[in-house]
Structure 1
């Protein structure tokens, strides 16, 4: 996989957005992409930027609201195969620990 994207979909509505976000995630699952959802968005990995665009478009279209704001940031490495997890591992190696902190 050479293309990594950060997808943010915001249904403009009052109250919880989780139901509409779940629809967007279900749409992603129709594509041959790996993804990880976090509290602020979803990281998607695919073989090409075109696949990321197609998956993001489907996720955007799956949201059933009058207004939807979607952003997609793409890192399209064309000469190197690198997974998102490898990027995080590089930072953690330099830190000498996990790159996360959770307060109880």
Structure 2
């Protein structure tokens, strides 16, 4: 997989966003992508940018609300295959440890 993206979809509402975010994440299941949700968004991996854009658009449409805010950051590396996990591993190699810390 060569396209890695960070997607954040949220309705502009009061209270918890969890139910609406779950709808956005569930919409990704209709596409040939792998994904991992974290507290600030969802990392998506696909073979091409077009698939990421289509999946992100479906996630955006899945959320109810008078106003929906969507942010999509795409890394479309065209010269080599990579994965989100490999990107983290490269940072960890330079750190000499895991790139995670608990308080």
**Interval containing the TM-score (normalised by the shorter chain):** over 0.9
Determine the structure 2 residue equivalent to 1:83.
Answer: 83
State how far apart, in whole Å, the 2-side matches of 1:50 and 1:9 are: 18
Is 1:66 the equivalent of 2:66?
yes
Is 1:49 the equivalent of 2:20?
no
Determine the structure 1 residue equivalent to 2:40.
Answer: 40
Where does the alignment leave 5 or more consecutive residues of structure 2 unmatched?
A: none
Deviation at 1:10, TM superposition (A): 1.6
Q: TM-score when scaled to structure 1?
A: 0.97
Note the aligned Cα RMSD (angstroms).
Answer: 0.6
Where does the alignment leave 5 or more consecutive residues of structure 1 unmatched?
A: none
Superposition misfits of 4+ residues, deviation over 4 angstroms: none
Q: Deviations over 1:18-77 (max 9, x none)?
A: 000000010001111010100000100001110000000000000011100001110001
Determine the structure 2 residue equivalent to 1:5.
Answer: 5
Report how many aligned residue pairs link the two structures. 103
